Amino acid sequence: MREGGRILARIMEDLKKAVRPGIKTKELERLAQSLVFKYKARCSFLGYEGYPACLCVSVNDEIVHYPPSDRVLKEGDIVSLDFGVLWKGFHTDMALTLPVGSVAPEARRLVKVCKKALRMSLRNVRPGKTIGDISNAIQRYVEDQGFNVVRELCGHGIGRELHEDPQILNYGKRGKGPELKPGMTICIEPMITAGDYRIKKSERGPGYRTLDGSLSAHFEHTIAITKSGPWLLTNPNLF
C-alpha cells in the first residue's frame, strides 16, 4: 500500500498541474488513465458499482462522485479530484480540492479549512484512540470555522477492497466507535460545505451535491496506523 500510495500521490501531482480555466473535466480523465497506464497500476473506481470512469471531478456545489464530462472549468471555480489506484492487490484512495485560477476569498478559506480539518484529525490517529475521536476533531474544527460537515457520506477502511469497515464519519463523539490498532489502514476524508450540510443526489449519475447550492470541499488520504502514529501512505510529505 505504501508503493501504491506513492504512485497515487505522483499521479495527483500531475493532475493538479493540469487544472486550469478552459480545460474539460474529461481531459483530466484522459490524463488520469494515461498516468495509471504509465505506472502499470489499475484504476480503483472504474466499474466500481457501475462507475464509468477512473476519476471523480466535482465542481463548486458538487461534493463527490461526479464522472468527467464535457464540462469546462471556469475561472473562480473550485474543483475536487477524487482518485484511487489498485497496486499489487491493494487499493489506495486520495482526494483534494483546488482553486481554478483566482477564486473568491470565502471559497479559498473553505478549501483551506477542509485541508486543515484532515490535518487536525491526525492527532487522534494512534493506537488506543477511537474512530469517534477522529470524527469529533473534524467536526469541532470545521464548525468552529463557520462551516458544516457532510453527514450522509464518510471515510472508510481500505485494503484489498476499496471500501471496508470501519466507517469514519466526519461528525461524532469522543471515545465512541471502534478502537484504532496498529496495522489498520483507513481513509479519512472531510467533506464540508459553506452552507447547509444536507445533500441531494444528482439528477443524472452517481454524484452528490449540496442541497442549498453552497460550495463544498473534499480532502482525503489513505493512512496506516502504526505504534508511533499515523503514516500518510498517499502523500507522506503533505503535512
- Burial of 43 from C-beta contacts in 10 A (0-12 / 13-18 / 19+): buried
pLDDT at 192: 98
pLDDT at 236: 61
C-alpha cell at 37: 497506464
Q: Alpha-carbon dihedral of residues 178, 137, 62, 109, nearest 10 degrees?
A: -160
Per-residue pLDDT of the chain (239 residues; tens, 9 = 90+): 999 999 999 999 999 999 999 999 999 999 999 999 999 999 999 999 999 999 999 999 999 999 999 999 999 999 999 999 999 999 999 999 999 999 999 999 999 999 999 999 999 999 999 999 999 999 999 999 999 999 999 999 999 999 999 999 999 999 999 999 999 999 999 999 999 999 999 988 999 999 999 999 999 999 999 998 899 999 866 54
Residue 209: its H or E element: strand 208-210
C-alpha cell at 124: 487522534
Domains in the chain (CATH in brackets) are 2-232 (3.90.230.10)
> Among candidates 225, 219, 221, 216, which has minimal Cα distance to 235?
221
Measured from the Cβ of residue 135, the count of other Cβ atoms closer than 10 Å reads: 27
> Among candidates 7, 10, 11, 2, which has minimal Cα distance to 232?
2
pLDDT digits (tens, 9 = 90+) for 9-24: 999 999 999 999 999 9
Residues contacting residue 90 through CB under 8 Å, at least 6 positions apart: 1, 4, 159, 160
Residue by residue, what is the 3-state secondary structure of 146-162? CCEECCCCCEEECCCCC
* pTM for the whole structure: 0.95
pLDDT at 118: 97
- The CA distance from 8 to 18, in Å, is 15
pLDDT at 203: 87
% pLDDT > 70, the chain: 98
pLDDT at 239: 42
